[in-house]
Amino acid sequence: MRATIRGARALVTGAGRGLGQVFSETLVARGAATVYGAARDPSQITTSGVTAVRLDITDPAQVAAAAKRCSDVDLLINNAGIMHFTPLLSAPDTEAAEDEMRTNYFGTLAMCRAFAPVLGANGGGSLVNILSVVSWFAMPLNSSYGASKSAEWALTNAARIELRQQATLVVGVFASFIDTPMARNVDLPKVSPQSVVDQTLDAIEAGREEVLTDERTRFIKAALPNDLSVIYPAQQDLWDATHPHAPS
């Protein structure tokens, strides 16, 4: 299953800034026939050639309204997400974890369910979920986000199976930190949003189901068979350095 970006009718969630904005701009530049940019505040959508759509993916009524309004879509890019940088057990409560799961997993699930029949009616098209390298391992200082992305990864794999018969290409995009406002306070190497977007759109046109956008992501994926010995010792050191045990 392959698709062409030129002439596509696309919807990008979380399009008001960061990666979603770059997706919208690049889709226009690459000749998409229609680009809907969705955001909780549609006034954030300022890119020329992009039609603003009010959408909070955690609001079932707004998701249903978007599917009705954007019924011509043959490319859905599920980019909207949140990250709170919280651990799971040491956080003061589960509010952040619940919020991330509500948006990153259940919100994306709602979008997939609402737009699967739209894509099917329009010839199959493509469904893209923006995932994360922490879909595959627990980064303790950010583990609640990772749990939500692990769930979204499982969703992506299940959607691929369920939608193959209607000829929908389901693409999982994995990245380490991306140089966007979400990661502004992270002092680690970052991949450019333009690189992520270009690799993703190229994958759609090539019919590829997985995009590993940067060196760290490729390293982690390759290390998964030996994750307990290759990945987690460094994560344990990081946790111990930032959460020292009290003297006994």
pLDDT digits (tens, 9 = 90+) for 7-60: 999 999 999 999 999 999 999 999 999 999 999 999 999 999 999 999 999 999
Average pLDDT over residues 188-203: 93
What's the CATH number where 93 sits?
A: 3.40.50.720
| Confidence (pLDDT) at 167 | 96
Annotate 56-91 with b (16+ C-beta within 10 A) or e (fewer): bbbeeebbeebbebbeebbbbbbbbbbbeebbeeee
pLDDT digits (tens, 9 = 90+) for 157-179: 999 999 999 999 999 999 998 98
User: Within a domain: residue 30?
Assistant: yes
* SS3 readout for 102-150: HHHHHHHHHHHHHHHHHHHHCCCCEEEEECCHHHCCCCHHHHHHHHHHH
User: Within a domain: residue 1?
Assistant: no
Domain range for 93 is 9-242
Confidence band of 248 (pLDDT split at 50, 70, 90)? very low
pTM of the model: 0.91
Average pLDDT over residues 67-86: 97
Average model confidence (pLDDT) across the chain: 94
DSSP 8-state symbol, 214: S
User: Within a domain: residue 16?
Assistant: yes
- Annotated active-site residue in 36, 105, 145, 232: 145
In the chain, how many domains are there?
1
| Residue 105 annotated in active site | no
